[in-house]
Amino acid sequence: MGIISRGFSGRHGATDLKLPPGQHLTTDFPVLSAGPTPHVSLDRWEFRIDDGTDVLRRWDWKSFRELPTENITIDLHCVTRWSKLGTSWEGVSLDTMLADVKTDASYALVRSYGDYTTNLPLNDLMNKQAWIAFQFDGKDLAPEHGGPARFLVPHLYLWKSAKWVRGITLMHHDRPGFWESLGYHNCGDPWREQRYSGDE
Amino acid sequence: MWRVGTVVALHDETATARTITLKVSDWTGHLAGQHVDVRLTASDGYSAVRSYSIASAPNSETRIELTVERLRDGEVSPYLTQELAVGDRLELRGPIGGWFVWRTQQTEPIQLVAGGSGIVPLMAMIRSRVSACSAASFRLLYSVREPGAVLYRDELEALSDHDHSVSVTYAYTRVAPKDWPRPPGRIDAALIANTTWPSNLAPTCYVCGPTSFVETATGLLSASGNSSDKIRTERFGPTGDRQ
Amino acid sequence: MSSHTYDYLDGNAAAGELSKIFAMDVTAAKGQCAHCGATKRFAEAHLYMLGPGVVARCAVCEHVLLRLVNVRQRVFLDVRGMTYLSLDAAQLEASSDLDA
């Protein structure tokens, strides 16, 4: 630690007990990105599930929006240490999207417009744990927050909830995504504070 | 890597901007246009790092000046502009950056374009020109919200009116002084054409300000014939962390 | 597909982070994009630093040039996106105008 700056406490207040370790509450919605915001028009949008060789399922915007949707209220935990509680979204459960997919794969690589990727065990996408959201707070999802559609995997740090999603590749072997390949934790459970590779 | 600077003077430039003079005993000198990273550390170990441009010219003393604009909702700038007192110590990393700099050996015409507190590193260049007795021809186009937000006004006036060290054009975006010839508004092609160096003189252009301002200014400079490799930029970002 | 929101900084802004690693100032160096071949100063790259790490992208094609992540006492650096960096050693020696 360096010199203590007399009278400086930073933006963060006291840590709330309901928050994962090392997190601080925010009420605004910070925009964090690793690249330019893609502007994807709905008539060109599509979402594919493939196994690395073949496309197993494919939706355009119209067929995606015909899928049954759910309203969910979730907490967001960003690895940059802010948490935002009680956010409201509408989206399609990954259980719905994976329902007719026959696979013995164990891992998924989520792909985005703009070439961002993140990896998860397939189990983390099932059993009401993951959604593709297209509305936030009753409004169409803004591009800076991942619109037209983004992943939501609220039980993991927010970098796993890829913005601007375009597909999933199902894999037998795990393959690290954009941040997981450069020092971030492969799993990213905020309650176990799995921020960096090497964390328990 | 982190040096320690002691605050030896504080000076309010405007209602929201303050110049901090630091004595840094192991300072090895800097180039006009460089910046430093400032690190604040709370008693619980939390720390925040922000970059601030150096406003002072290189000098033989181990003192530097930073001018910091207070941001609404900022985390570091309110501390630096309101809490910090003479005698306090600050951790610094730098000087840093070897591209957005003006060297006294440069003789070509220089076009400076500032948006808001983007004037700070450009002021270091102007001051460096003066202290080095350089003959390079400097022009400054300074886009600013309103007359009260102008930094270094008296010094710029003295340097432009009396010394002819730099020719200054103000462009007000919200409120202009009474009888000002140009209505308030963003910089545009006519202003660039009328007040900046003609591109056939091949000036080196230094543009500093918020990202959207830099985007606009570099677009206009390119459109008026300046080659992109003669335009150097320093953006503050959408949140204006360095504003 | 390109962005109309200006959410990046210049490569300049990474100078402090990169000074932890390199003895020379990398932002004044020329680097070649491994994707499109454009050769520009690193200072001209588009820099995204609000996320989990620092990402520098080619100002021409927006492909990743460099990624940097601070992991407690360790720094991860990925420079696969550049075929080379060329540094001006003479200019770097004149690191100060004090004696000019």
* CATH code, A89: 3.90.420.10
Size of interface A-C (CB pairs under 8 A): 70
Contact A2, B38 (CB under 8 A): no
Q: Which domain holds residue C24?
A: 9-86
**Where does the pLDDT of residue B209 fall: very low under 50, low under 70, confident under 90, or very high at 90 and above?**
very high
Instruction: Calculate how close chain A gets to B227, using CA atoms only, in Å.
Output: 25
On whether residue A140 sits in a domain, the answer given is yes
In B43-153, where do the E strands start and end?
Answer: 47-53, 63-69, 89-96, 110-115, 138-144
Residue C16 inside a domain? The answer is: yes
For residue C38, tell me if it sits in a domain: yes
What's the pLDDT score for residue C5? 54
Is A178 inside a domain boundary?
Answer: yes
Is C59 a domain residue?
yes
* Structural domain contains residue C36: yes
Q: Is residue A72 part of a domain?
A: yes
Q: What was the pLDDT predicted at C92?
A: 53
| Confidence at residue B72, expressed as pLDDT on a 0 to 100 scale | 81
Chain A residues with CB inside 8 Å of C54's CB?
Answer: none
pLDDT at B226: 97
Res. A13: pLDDT tops 90: no
The structure tokens listed for B133 are: 């007795």
In B, minimum Cα distance to A8 occurs at B42
- pLDDT tens-digit series, residues C40-90: 999 999 999 888 999 999 999 999 999 999 998 899 999 999 999 999 887
pLDDT single digits (tens) B143-197: 999 999 999 999 999 999 877 889 999 999 999 999 999 999 999 999 999 999 9
The answer to whether residue A37 sits within a structural domain is: no
Classify residue C25: in a domain, yes or no. yes
Cβ distance C13 to B1 less than 8 Å, yes or no, reads no
Judge whether A20 lies within some domain.
Answer: no
Q: What is the pLDDT of residue B37?
A: 94
**In chain A, pLDDT over 70 holds for what percent of residues?**
96
Q: For residue C65, is it within any domain? A: yes
Q: What mean pLDDT comes out for the span A25-53?
A: 92
Which of A4, A11, A12 is the closest to B43 by Cβ?
A4
- CA-based nearest residue in chain C for residue B34: C12
**Inter-chain CB proximity A8 and B45 less than 8 Å:** no
The pLDDT confidence band at residue C1, using thresholds 50, 70 and 90, is very low
Burial of C55-65, coded b for 16+ CB within 10 Å and e otherwise, reads bbbbbbebebb
User: Residue C2: is its pLDDT beyond 80?
Assistant: no
Q: What structural domains does chain B harbor?
A: 3-96 (2.40.30.10), 110-235 (3.40.50.80)
pLDDT digits (tens, 9 = 90+) for B218-240: 999 999 999 999 999 999 865 43
pLDDT given at position A1:
56
Mean pLDDT of B76-93: 96
Domain that holds residue A93: 43-192
pLDDT at B242: 35
Is A29 within the bounds of a domain?
A: no
Per residue in A180-189, pLDDT (tens digit) is 999 999 999 9
Q: Who contacts A78 (Cβ-Cβ below 8 Å, separation ≥6)?
A: A30, A32, A157, A158, A159
Q: Are B136 and B156 in contact (CB under 8 A)?
A: no
The pLDDT mean for chain B works out to: 93
pLDDT of residue A16: 53
Tens of pLDDT, residues A146-199: 999 999 999 999 999 999 999 999 999 999 999 999 999 999 999 999 999 988
Flag whether A200 is in a domain: no
The alpha-carbon gap from C74 to the nearest alpha carbon of chain B, in Å, equals 16
The number of domains in chain A is 1
Query: Could you tell me if residue C44 is inside a domain?
Result: yes
When divided into structural domains, chain C yields a total of: 1
User: Do B88 and A6 lie within an 8 Å CB cutoff?
Assistant: yes
Flag whether residue C34 sits within 8 Å of chain A, measured between CB atoms.
no
Nearest to B126 by CA among B211, B179, B55, B184: B55
| Residue B216, H or E segment | helix B211-223
Residue A6 pLDDT: 87
Give domain status of residue C55, yes or no: yes
Residue C22: list chain B partners with CB under 8 A. none
Question: CB distance B40–A6 less than 8 Å?
Answer: no
Contact indicator for A176, A194 with CB cutoff of 8 Å: no
Q: Could you tell me how many CB contacts below 8 A there are between chain B and chain C? A: 96
Single-letter residue type at B47: S
Q: How far apart are CA B59 and CA C99, in angstroms?
A: 9
